[in-house]
Structure 1
Amino acid sequence: MRMKKTLMLILILIGFTQCNFFTETKASKEEKTEQNIVKENNFEESITEANISDSDNEVQIKEDTTIYAIDSIDVKPDFEGGIQKFQKYIKNNFFYPEEDEHVKGMLEVNFVVEKDGNLSNIKVIKDIGHGTGNEAIRVLKKAPKWIPATNNHRLVRTLYYLSIPVDNHQEQNL
C-alpha cells in the first residue's frame, strides 16, 4: 500500500515536471533549478519533502530523520508485551562477569527506537564497571523489535532511556 502511494506520487511529479518543461521558457527554467513540490506530514511516514530538478527531471524524496524526545510525541514506543517483558528479556540474556566480587548497581542506557522498531545509537550513560556496560550494549543490539512511536499519525524515531538493575549474586541464587 505504501509502495503504491509512493509510486503514484513519483508518477504525478514526473508528469507535472514534463508538463512544466514544455510550457516554461528557457529563461524561467534556468532561474528555477529546484522547486519544492510537496510537503505533507501525514501522506507517508517516511516522506516529508520531495524536490525536483527541472534540468535533470530527477525526483529526490527526503526522509524525516529527526529523533524525538519521548515526552514530545503522541504515542510512546513500547516493547511488545510491555516493559516488564523487556526487562525479563534483559535478565534472561544478560551475562554477568565471572569475577568473584559482588557486582551490584544500576546501569543507565539510552537508545533510539527506529521507525521499523529496531534499536540503534545504543549508549551507556552510567556504567558500574566490570564489563557490564558492554554487556548491556550486546543484549540491546540483539533485542527483538519494538513497536515504534508515532507523532501526528506518522512513525517517528524516538530517544528512549532505560535503567537496568545489575546484581550478580541475585543471578547465582536463582
Structure 2
Amino acid sequence: MKNIFKILLFLNLAVGFGQNNDAPKEDAILIKDKKPTIAKDSTQNNYNLIFTSVDNIAIPPGGMNEFRKYVGQSFRLPEVNKTTIGKVTTKFTVCNDGSICDIQVINESPADLGLGDEVKRILNKSGNWKPAQKNETAVSSYYTLPIAIQITSSDIPQPAVKENNSTSKKD
C-alpha cells in the first residue's frame, strides 16, 4: 500500500512540474483590455449582438415609475370568481433603436386568465424605450419584466330571489 502511494505521489509531482513553460509571453493578451466591437449601423435584429450584460440598462419611456403607472392603468383585468394574484414574467428584446421585439411569456400564473397576452399587448403599445448602453453605444439587450397584479373578484350582483311565503286570501 505504501509503495502504491509513493508511485502515485511521484507521478503527480512528475506531471505537475513537467509542464512546458517556454511559451512566448507576448502572445498572452488580457481579456479585459479587449473591448467588443459593436456595429454602429446595425438596425436589424442580429441575434449575435443581443447583450445580457450592459453598462446601462434599457429604460421605458418616462422612467420605471411612469411605466408602472402605465401598466396599472392599461391592464385589462379579467373577471374572476374570487380574489387572486396574477403573476406574469416576460422576457423581451429592447433593440438598439429602442423598439421592443421578441416578447416571450416565461411564466404565467394562473394560466387560464390570459394575463400573458395582456402583458404582450401593453408592451407593444408602450412606445420606444431608451436602449441599453455598452461602451457608450446603444445596443440591443434582453429585458426580463415580472408583473404581479391583484385581481379582485367581480362583485356581480345576483338577481334577488324573493320567496313567496304569503298565501293568497280569498274573500
**% of aligned pairs identical?**
28
Is 2:146 aligned against 1:163? yes
The structure-2 alpha-carbon separation of the partners of 1:161 and 1:133, relative to structure 1 and needing over 3 Å to count, comes to same
Matched residue pairs, number? 116
Partners of 2:98 and 2:130 lie apart in 1 by: 5
Query: How big is each residue's C-alpha offset from its partner over 1:69-122, in whole Å with a ceiling of 9 and x where there is no partner?
Result: 0xx212211123221111111111110112333231321111111111111111
Q: How much has 1:151 moved relative to structure 2?
A: 1.0
Normalized per residue, the structure richer in strand is: 1
Q: Runs of 5+ in structure 1 lacking a partner?
A: 1-39, 48-61
Inter-partner Cα distance in structure 2 for 1:112 and 1:88: 21
Q: Which has the higher contact order (CA 8 A, sep 6+)?
A: 2
Q: 1:80 to 1:140 in 2, by over 3 A?
A: closer
**Who wins on radius of gyration, i.e. which is larger?**
2
Cα distance in 2 for residues equivalent to 1:171 and 1:89 = 23
TM-score w.r.t. the length of structure 1 is: 0.58
CA distance in 1, matches of 2:102, 2:40: 21
| Alpha-carbon shift at residue 171 of structure 1 (Å) | 10
Residue aligned with 2:72, SS: helix
Change (3 A) 1:63 1:80: closer
Cα distance, 1:152–1:125 mapped onto 2, change above 3 Å:
same
Aligned 1:78-157 pairs, distance under 5 A: 78-128=59-109, 129=111, 130-157=113-140
Classify 1:63/1:141 alpha carbon distance in 2 versus 1 (closer, same or farther; 3 Å).
closer
Select the structure that is richer in helix. 1
Q: CA RMSD in A?
A: 2.7
TM-score by length of 2: 0.59
